[in-house]
A = this chain, B = another copy of it.
Amino acid sequence: MSNALEQQIAFIIEIDKLKQVLRQTLLTDSSRRENSAEHSWHIALMAVILQEYAPPEVDILHAIKLLLIHDLVEIDAGDTFCYDDRGNLDKAEREIKAAERLFGLLPPVQGQQLRQLWDEYEAQETIDSRYAKALDCLQPVLHNQQTQGGTWKLHGVTRDRIMKRISAVKEGAPRLWPFVLQLLDDCEKAGYFRV
């Protein structure tokens, strides 16, 4: 086996660990918490299903790649709940260290390519990364709606914090924004979060 393939297989085995990283979000039937690997699958497929609402310039393959890799750093850094202010203080530092180790398992050129994808997602400067993040933010809203408030209720999250977080949809997939506003109104009426 070539050295490159050996490194790639080691990486593929290593990333199996993402299946053990639990997010706050519950599955839609509330039976358990979602893990970051299955979450990544869900939003990658959402990128395909909702493509017609993406800005026309979006490169779907590129957006999907961003979504498939964007949570890998959680293997070392853990999932930081988006409403956890303290956890978010050193999140960047922990995740950069994780990116160095994980992408460093790959052959150097490929490792750099994946690292660039991850940096692009984090920087949120390209339309592809913004479309990707819109989906990453929309999916837990759907789950919280399906679970009668789910993690919003559990953590007493307020509407203005949700709005701040979900504004990523307005940025990355503006054609979905009216739907999101309606969804939040419905959730508010149902008492799924604090006003």
Q: Which residue of the partner chain B has the closest CB to A68?
A: B45
The one of B9, B18, B44 in contact with A44, judged by C-beta atoms closer than 8 angstroms, is: B44
The one of B16, B31, B64 in contact with A28, judged by C-beta atoms closer than 8 angstroms, is: B16
Q: How many copies does the complex hold?
A: 2
A178 to B142, CA, bound (A): 45
What 0/1 pattern do residues 39 to 51 of A give for CB contact below 8 A with B? Answer: 0111011101110
Residues of the B chain whose Cβ atoms lie less than 8 Å from the Cβ of A179:
1, 5, 9
A88 at the interface (CB under 8 A from B): no
Contact B46 A37 (CB under 8 A): no
Q: Count chain A residues whose beta carbon lies closer than 8 angstroms to a beta carbon of B.
A: 47
What 0/1 pattern do residues 48 to 62 of A give for CB contact below 8 A with B? Answer: 111001000000110
A41-B41, A64-B64 given as contacts; is B20 within 8 A of A50 (CB)? Answer: no
Which residues of A1-32 have CB atoms within 8 Å of chain B's CB atoms? 1, 5, 8-9, 11-13, 15-20, 27-29, 31
